[in-house]
Structures are given as structure tokens and as C-alpha cells.
Amino acid sequence: MKHVVTFAVAIMALQSFEKPLPKPHIDPHDSKIFQPEAFDYTPRFFIHATGYCSCPVCCGKWAKYQRTASGTIPEAGVTIAADKNIFPFKTCLDIPKIGERIVEDTGSAIRMFRIDVFFSDHQTAVVFGFQRDLLVRFCDEEIL
Ligand SMILES: [Zn+2]
């Protein structure tokens, strides 16, 4: 009997460890959740941002085209690169300290909630550096 009780206590202890807290399931490939109208609140995302320009250091083999992945001519003050599974081309994002930018480009390292901000020269892009945890939202969304 003593063994049975010990066993029961052990099982209960194990179960309490095995039950993780329920987490909200967010599928980044579910296109529905990235449409602003699908929300009844203002969606915001924490992103990490880096800077880039059109030079070979930043763009490697793609630099010779001088075009974004969506075919536009990249423009400082307008163009950003993002993961288009999350932020499709032409998505307008309002980025704190940076302003409103349009997703026109992609990048091999730009996955999930990483954003690359386009600058006209390499030095400015380097000075921009790596900025963590910027709380972005879609443009023309009212802050609730
Ligand atoms: Zn560069």
C-alpha cells in the first residue's frame, strides 16, 4: 500500500510538471491574421530592425540589379525589407523613431519579425545598426 501511495504521489507530481500553460497559437503563415481588418484591436508587433543600402556588402549578388525583390527602385525614407510571409509587399508599417515605411524588399536574413531599413548610403545604414524591440503597427491604424 505504501508503494501505491508513493506511486500515486509521483504521478501527480509528474502531471503538474507536464501541463504547460496554454499558449495562444499564432501561425505566421496564416494570411488571415495579417489583415488589419481581421483585428478588432490595433495589432502591434515587436520587431528588430537593421539598416542596409544597395551596395554589394549589404546586398551581395543582388546588388548589380539595383532593384528591390518586388521590382521597385529602392528609396531611402520609403523602402524596407521584411518577411513577406508576415508583411506582404506594399504593407505600410509605422516604425517608432523611423516613421512610415513600405515593404518592398526581402532578404535572406530577414525572417519573421526582422525588418531591414533601406538607406541611400552604406555609412548611414551602418550607423543605424541593430535596433531591438521596436513596437511597429500598420499605418493609418488609429491607436486604441
Ligand atoms: Zn551597404
- Position 44 in a domain: yes
Residue among 115, 96, 95 nearest 105 (CA) = 115
CA–CA gap between residue 88 and residue 79 (Å, rounded): 13
pLDDT tens readout for residues 77-91:
999 999 999 999 999
| CATH number reported for the structural domain that contains residue 46 in this entry | 2.40.40.10
- Position 25 in a domain: no
Expressed in angstroms and rounded, the spacing between residue 109 Cα and the centre of ligand 1 is: 15
- Position 91 in a domain: yes
With cut-offs at 50, 70 and 90, classify the pLDDT of residue 43: confident
Does pLDDT of 115 surpass 80?
A: yes
- Position 143 in a domain: no
CA–CA gap between residue 84 and residue 62 (Å, rounded): 18
- Position 18 in a domain: no
Q: Report the pLDDT averaged over residues 83-103.
A: 94
Expressed in angstroms and rounded, the spacing between residue 3 Cα and the centre of ligand 1 is: 69
Q: How far is CA 67 from CA 21, 87, 102, 106, 112, in A?
A: 46, 19, 14, 11, 22
Domain range for 113 is 31-138
- Position 6 in a domain: no
Expressed in angstroms and rounded, the spacing between residue 124 Cα and the centre of ligand 1 is: 9
- Position 71 in a domain: yes
The pTM for the full model equals: 0.69
Q: What residues sit around ligand 1, an ion, with C-beta below 5 angstroms?
A: 53, 55, 57-58, 122
Q: How many domains does the chain have?
A: 1
